[in-house]
Amino acid sequence: MFKPILFSIIAFLTINTTRLSAQDWGIGNTRTEYRDNAGVGTKSGFYESQNPVNFPPVYSSWWLLMDIRHSNTAYNHAMQFAGGFFDQHLYFRKTNNSATTPWSRVLLERDNKVGIGTIDPTAALQIGDFATGTNAQKIVMPGVYNIERVALGQDGNGNSSLEFVNHSDANVSYGIKVGTNIDRYGGGLYIATAASTNDYSKLSYRDQPAIFANANDNSVGIGTNATYGYRLAVAGPMIAERIKVKQVTNWPDYVFKKDYQLPSLKEVATFIDKNGHLPGIPSAAEIANDGIEVGDMNARLLQKIEEMTLHLIQQQQVVEKLQRENEAIRQQLQKLSK
């Protein structure tokens, strides 16, 4: 990009220098003349300005202007290059018969690095500067339908994102954004969604992220950024075809050991009358406050099932004993009746 511009400037200097005669010398015996208004002129040349008008609207004070004019002075057609005294920026425009034609800043390479919005890039391509309070910089790639686009850049102080806006039909689009937003979600990476709309300014991302990866404790939230120290936090119901819980300690096989003290049904009944729930099982109030641990609760429930199984075995033994006794009595009664 820089080489074609440099070639144009060199060609202009070569051609116009050969045309200048002694009477063409400007201020202080130089070929630079003074002109404040870059939009009005009748001849090509080199100019300086202390009170610039129709120059790039970024600085005041001193500017330099190279002005290449149409041969017919009745036309205000010009190709112009301009730069301030106190920076390394270069600006370009073609006036097309309009004094207020906007200027474009030329991208210049330095040490194989290109900067947009900065004069001292630190990478092969740098957009914007590191100064605080500067406007956020973005790369935007528009699409075909409605407000379709891909945008990469900053969303404010300390916040950056990659945004995908796709169309659901020719007039309606939805948004998906991946990024970091310390102000809204805290430290971490989020994926947020915005429902369909027909206007980009109306594209509203939901208060809670679809997925949030917490940078502080390496936890993940689904539908929430508040993980409360858990490895995975899900806000709302969920469904799965299969869930496997591992490393559940103290699995209740101990119930079947000979030395296990099986509580009697009378003891269980007394506990239920007093507390309103089974022993070893949390109450409804405790679950409402603390929730349940799936693995631990399954172990507790299995313990109750195993205890109930032992009671059933005992009851079966009692029943069988009674049946035998009844059979013996029946046989005795039959003998007596003969």
List pLDDT tens digits, range 182-215.
888 889 999 999 999 988 888 899 999 999 999 9
And the tokens for 264?
A: 């009697």
Task: Give the model confidence (pLDDT) of 292-301 as tens digits.
Answer: 888 889 999 9
Whether 226 shows a pLDDT value over 90: the answer reads yes
Nearest CA among 60, 103, 64 for reference residue 82: 64
Contact 179, 162 (CB under 8 A): yes
From 8-17, 66-75, 201-210, 311-320, the region with the lowest mean pLDDT: 8-17
Q: Where are the domains of the chain?
A: 2-113, 135-234, 252-337
Whether 132 shows a pLDDT value over 60: the answer reads no
pTM of the predicted structure, to 2 decimals: 0.63
Per the model's pLDDT, the better-predicted residue between 208 and 41 turns out to be 208
> What local confidence, expressed as pLDDT, does residue 316 receive?
97
Whether 302 shows a pLDDT value over 80: the answer reads yes
d(CA 54, CA 333): 128
Average pLDDT over residues 40-50: 88
Per the model's pLDDT, the better-predicted residue between 338 and 5 turns out to be 338
And the tokens for 182?
A: 């310390």
Which of the 8 DSSP states describes residue 53? Answer: B
Mean pLDDT of the chain: 85
From 6-15, 119-128, 255-264, the region with the lowest mean pLDDT: 6-15
d(CA 163, CA 193): 10
> What local confidence, expressed as pLDDT, does residue 106 receive?
84
d(CA 169, CA 51): 52
Contact 305, 279 (CB under 8 A): no
Task: Give the model confidence (pLDDT) of 134-154 as tens digits.
Answer: 556 788 888 888 788 899 988
Give SS3 for 316. Answer: helix
Distance of CA 25 to the CA centre of its chain: 60
Nearest CA among 237, 236, 252 for reference residue 298: 252
Whether 25 shows a pLDDT value over 60: the answer reads no
Task: Quote the percentage of the chain above a pLDDT of 90.
Answer: 52
Contact 52, 40 (CB under 8 A): no
Task: Give the model confidence (pLDDT) of 228-252 as tens digits.
Answer: 989 999 999 999 999 888 876 789 9
> What local confidence, expressed as pLDDT, does residue 65 receive?
93
d(CA 328, CA 259): 34
Nearest CA among 244, 218, 239, 237 for reference residue 229: 218
Whether 281 shows a pLDDT value over 50: the answer reads yes
Give start and end residues of each alpha helix (H) in the chain: 2-19, 265-275, 284-290, 294-337
Average pLDDT over residues 312-322: 96
Phi-psi region of 311 (alpha: psi -120 to 50; beta: other; left: phi over 0): alpha
> What local confidence, expressed as pLDDT, does residue 27 receive?
57
